[in-house]
Amino acid sequence: MKEIAKETILLEIKKYRRGMLFFSENFISKSNAKTANKTLERLAASGEIARVALGIYTRPKKSRLFGVVLPSAEEVIRAIAKRDKARIVPTGYLALNKLGLSTQVPMKLIYLTDGAARKIVLGKQTILLKKVTPKNLSAKGTISSLVIQALKAIGKNKIIPEEENKIITLLQQEKQDVLEHDMALAPEWARKIMRKALVK
């Protein structure tokens, strides 16, 4: 029975292109949860698949230079967001990095979500999903959403002119109605900075 489950799950896995992420619960319809988890663990141990994090697997890409290439933290987050139909927003130094305001890539990546709170360990990196109220995830614009989180990370009265100018330039790429909507979600001191990106 276990061998049948293994072969069934392996056939399903081979339908995924290399680099795609899949979750242990994807295979519960093919067997029970315990059997699916054990089968995936055995397949990972044999090298047929790779375990990215608890309950998250992939058929890894392979490079002549780097060997096995595992999905990035960003790819893991996108896969979780798609699976859970959840909104996920980067915060802190991660938001600063994505906007080009910091070259620092934090080892602890913190995201806000309206999905389940969880901690994911990816090698030396940790992903922390913090569940928040829908209001904290109401921003419509990709850039303005990051800017709000980045400004909160910098702090009131701590932004330097170079950072402010870059933020204004980035925000000018947002649609005006989207920017106006998202500004209302920011603290007043941050709103004053964001308002400078509006076309007069």
| CA atoms within a 13 Å half-sphere pointing along the CA-CB vector of 46 | 9
| Whether residue 78 sits in one domain with residue 123 | yes
For residues 56 and 73, give the distance between their C-alpha atoms in angstroms, rounded to a whole number.
12
| CA atoms within a 13 Å half-sphere pointing along the CA-CB vector of 176 | 4
Phi, psi (rounded to 5 degrees) for 176: -60, -45
Residue at which a domain ends, from 93, 114, 133: 133
Neighbours of 11 (CB within 10 A): 10
| Whether residue 123 sits in one domain with residue 143 | no
Does residue 200 belong to any structural domain of this protein? no
For 3, counting Cβ atoms within 10 Å of its Cβ (0-12 exposed, 13-18 middle, 19+ buried), the class is exposed
Which residue type does 182 have?
Answer: D
Structure tokens at 5: 């489950």
Q: Which residues, at least 6 apart from 130, have a Cβ–Cβ distance to it below 8 Å?
A: 91, 110, 111, 112, 113, 117
pLDDT tens-digit series, residues 87-109: 999 999 999 999 999 988 888 99
Q: What is the pTM of this model?
A: 0.83
pLDDT tens-digit series, residues 49-94: 999 988 899 998 888 887 888 889 999 999 999 999 999 999 999 9
Over residues 26-55, mean pLDDT:
85
Structural domain range at position 105: 73-133
Structural domains counted in the chain? 3
Neighbours of 103 (CB within 10 A): 7
Largest pairwise CA distance in the chain: 70
Residue at which a domain ends, from 133, 163, 180: 133
CATH assignment at residue 8? 1.10.10.10
